[in-house]
Amino acid sequence: MLNIDKETFKSDYIQKFIEIHGKDLEEGTDYNKYEALASLIRDYVAKMWIDTNKRYKENKSKQVYYFSMEFLLGRLLGSNLLNLGINDLCREGLNELGIDLTKLEYLEEDQGLGNGGLGRLAACFLDSMASLGISGHGCGIRYKHGFFNQKIINFSQVEVPDDWLKRGNLWEIKKSDKARIVKFGGEVKVEYIDGNLKFHHVNYEKVQAVPYDMPIVGYKNNVVNTLRLWSAEPLSNEFDFSSFNRGDFKKAMEYKDSVEAISQVLYPDDSFYEGKLLRLKQEYFFVSAGIQSIIHHFKSTGGNIKELDEKIAIHMNDTHPTLAVPELMRILVDEEGIGWDNAWRMTNNIMSYTNHTILAEALEKWPVDMFKKLLPRIFMIIQEIDRRFCEGLRNKYPGQWDKINKMQIINGGFVKMANLAIVGSHSVNGVAKLHTEILKKQEMSDFYYCYPNKFNNKTNGITHRRWLMIANPQLTELLKKTIGDSFITHPTDMINFQKFAKDSGVQEELKRIKNRNKKKLADYIYKVQGIRVDEESMFDVQVKRLHAYKRQTLNCIRIMDLYNRLLDNPNLDIVPRTFIFAGKSAPGYYLAKDIITLINTVANKINNDNRVNKKIKVVFMENYRVSLAETIIPAADLSEQISTTTKEASGTSNMKFMMNGAVTIATLDGANVEIRDEVGDDNIVIFGLTEREVLNYYKNGGYNSQKLINNDDRIKKIINSLIDGTYSKDTNKFKSIYQNLVTYNDEFFVIKDFYSYLEAQKKVDDLYRNTSRWQEMCAVNIAHSGIFSSDRTIKEYATGIWGSKCMYENLQ
Ligand code: 26W
């Protein structure tokens, strides 16, 4: 914890301001003031950072490296102030200087280097590792452009590039002296020396990987870990200067552009794999640079390479970093001269892998021809891994060719990344109990029966520091007042709040807090979208990536149905609701984009219809991102977690909502199941097909959406309104959605679950009308949310997978 007093802070701040801006504080813009504050905080952090690294070196503690293509950090000023323990002090100090800290915090650009769940999970994990005193660091890519900004124009999504670095990033430090070379293309020459094969990679193209380090501050524990993000930069001596001098700029520029392209932009695909060469380049680029730098650091701090697997652990966040397996083998075998068997044993001990989705279209597989050309030596190593693996399989399963083919790493002209990740790791985990069971029994069953001990579950979590303490300070205060502050370092202590669930004073306070958060959101909605919403209405929220399996369509068609019913019967007795949506679609995912257009079109119609707009309003909030989530989630009454059962691996917004005292309406999918187990059936509203039913339909058929629609006038009316001009004169506009539900037999059972969903929504209305009962439910949800802190998850990873220790006893 940083030890400074307010006066010192104030004078440091003024000094810093003058130093970086060369003018007086009074002359500065708000952004100047933000810059001075962030720079000062970075200075404060710097010493702790150095000390932490010294301690790690002295204690020879095992280092964990979390490899991820994505880190969705959001804003950092607030979380750094909180974790340093100087939030209040800074707020007061700045106040005395006439500066509003909150205003400065809002000026920070979100660091949006991730798509959704997987990237945000990585960010929560970094926060928890540092806060638990685990020597765990992130390794990823410093994309020049993060996830695109979403604008809604004419009711539809338009993508605008994210230029988050335009004013610089005050949290990073460029470490040019730690740059590494990553090799692409070329050929491999084989030599036979003293009875051993030697491999020489020649004629390759060199790409320079330059690290930018960011401090990851632990909560009041003097720990600062590192997030190292790699940027691709051309090497000046790789330019063909002779051609440059001859005026052939083109060639030189081509090299420069092709290198810079590697870290230019984050792929905006979520759960959808495209076999793009540039993506494969990105994957090898950061993994190779990361592993090289780990080995270099290990050796330069006196480590013996033969003990590498006792001293480091590398975690692969989904299959995107799987080339870490052959890259580590390459370095151990080709560069360190370690024999294959030993290198393989060590690699296996070091690597672990998390699967985040069972969707078939998300499985990465690279065409062999493309792979071989880009990474010739890595390809050879994978071939050798595969050869040995299949030899083992043939002994174990003689004659079972189907099984062996399915498990093979290189098969059917593709390199299958999940197979490589499983074979190369000592641990494979799913992200919620149900998801892990599905992996074991269905998607990865062959591997599970082959290596039952590798498979384990680690239910996801969220950092309660950002998602409760920063996002909802008033609720945090209420918890401190009622149960003390032990929950901050021991989040499962939140269970003590259960005692207050029926306390009318606490219930009233909970309602007051929610109302304040709702007012804040309502003001924001009015400010940015010009829509006035009723703060007294129930805020019914679905915010997440747009995806057919997440079923924003189900939510939307029940709103269309409600609209029909209100028009039929203006006195219909319902709880007034504001339906809030937000989320981005992948730019090439046309169905998801059409769903956004539909929601906005329905919103426009309903919001402008005076017959109904006192009772219901629909808002699609533009540009969903971490900072917006921090405003929306604490204001939600109802959390929509309505994916088709079996499809959502875990979900993590479900945990964020619960922690902020929203009630969940959910299918028994992903971590919803565990939330239900925690809070009990009385404190969550469950609907829809079960896992068994869904899997049975997928396996044996028997579902016919057309029949259901044709036999039901109410459903028929809604579905037809997609194409009969009710919502758009252009009757083709929502045809893709219509066809999806009708012609293509509704892959995600929207129609099948429709009535069950309506019934559940009716139950929500009834519960909400009973204010005391509703507040009790909110309190129970808050009390049980502690187990979904990522501190719990990370402890499980540390003890169950990485074999690393928490440094601080009080956090055990
Ligand atoms: C290569 C294309 C691609 C891109 C992203 C494939 C797969 C992904 C991610 C794994 C998708 C993702 O973010 N999955 C989400 O991970 C969360 C964290 O574990 C879970 O909570 C979500 O349920 C899961 O959808």
Task: Tell me the two tokens of residue 403.
Answer: 């099984």
**What number is the average pLDDT over the span 772-796?**
98
Residue 121 in contact with ligand 1 by CB distance below 6 A = yes
Work out the mean pLDDT of the chain and round it to a whole number.
Answer: 97
pLDDT digits (tens, 9 = 90+) for 474-524: 999 999 999 999 999 999 999 999 999 999 999 999 999 999 999 999 999
- The CA-CA-CA angle for residues 637, 641, 642, to 5°, reads 125
The CA distance from 165 to 142, in Å, is 10
How large is the C-alpha radius of gyration of the chain?
Answer: 27
Q: Which amino acid is at 522?
A: A
User: What pLDDT was estimated at residue 809?
Assistant: 43
Give the chain's largest Cα–Cα span: 91
Residue 808 has pLDDT above 60, yes or no: no
Q: Which amino acid is at 606?
A: I
pLDDT digits (tens, 9 = 90+) for 179-217: 999 999 999 999 999 888 999 999 999 999 999 999 999
For the question of residue 656 being annotated catalytic, the response is yes
Evaluate whether 595 touches 610 at the Cβ level (below 8 Å).
no
Residue 283 in contact with ligand 1 by CB distance below 6 A = no
The CA distance from 512 to 775, in Å, is 11
Give the Cβ contact number of residue 191 at 10 Å: 9
User: What pLDDT was estimated at residue 240?
Assistant: 59
Task: Tell me the two tokens of residue 135.
Answer: 């020597």
The number of C-alpha atoms within 13 Å of 653 and in the hemisphere containing its C-beta is 30
Residue 151 has pLDDT above 60, yes or no: yes
Residue 117 in contact with ligand 1 by CB distance below 6 A = yes
Residue 289 in contact with ligand 1 by CB distance below 6 A = no
Find the distance separating the first CA and the last CA of the chain, reported in whole Å: 18
- Give CA 241 to chain center in angstroms: 43
Q: What is the DSSP letter of 146?
A: -
Instruction: Region of 100 please: left (phi>0), alpha (psi -120 to 50) or beta.
Output: beta
Q: What is the pTM of this model?
A: 0.98
pLDDT digits (tens, 9 = 90+) for 261-308: 999 999 999 989 999 999 999 999 999 999 999 999 999 999 999 999
CATH class (in words) of the domain with range 464-788 = alpha beta
User: What pLDDT was estimated at residue 327?
Assistant: 99
For the question of residue 545 being annotated catalytic, the response is yes
pLDDT band at 811 (very low <50, low <70, confident <90, very high): very low
Residue 239 has pLDDT above 70, yes or no: no
pLDDT digits (tens, 9 = 90+) for 94-119: 999 999 999 999 999 999 999 999 99
Catalytic residue among 183, 545, 547, 551: 545
Treating both helix axes as pointing N-terminal to C-terminal, what angle do 713-720 and 552-568 enclose, rounded to 10 degrees? 110
Give me the residue spans of the domains in the chain.
Answer: 60-75+110-460+795-802, 464-788
> Does 60-75+110-460+795-802 match 464-788 in CATH topology?
yes
CATH architecture designation of domain 60-75+110-460+795-802 = 3-Layer(aba) Sandwich (3.40)
pLDDT band at 243 (very low <50, low <70, confident <90, very high): low
Pocket mutation for ligand 1, best pick of 269, 317, 357 (most atoms within 8 Å of C-beta)? 357
User: What pLDDT was estimated at residue 381?
Assistant: 98
| β-sheet bridge partners, residue 110 | none
Residue 368 has pLDDT above 80, yes or no: yes
The CA distance from 476 to 782, in Å, is 11
Catalytic residue among 62, 356, 454, 784: 356
User: What pLDDT was estimated at residue 251?
Assistant: 82
pLDDT digits (tens, 9 = 90+) for 19-73: 999 999 999 999 999 999 999 999 999 999 999 999 999 999 999 999 999 999 9
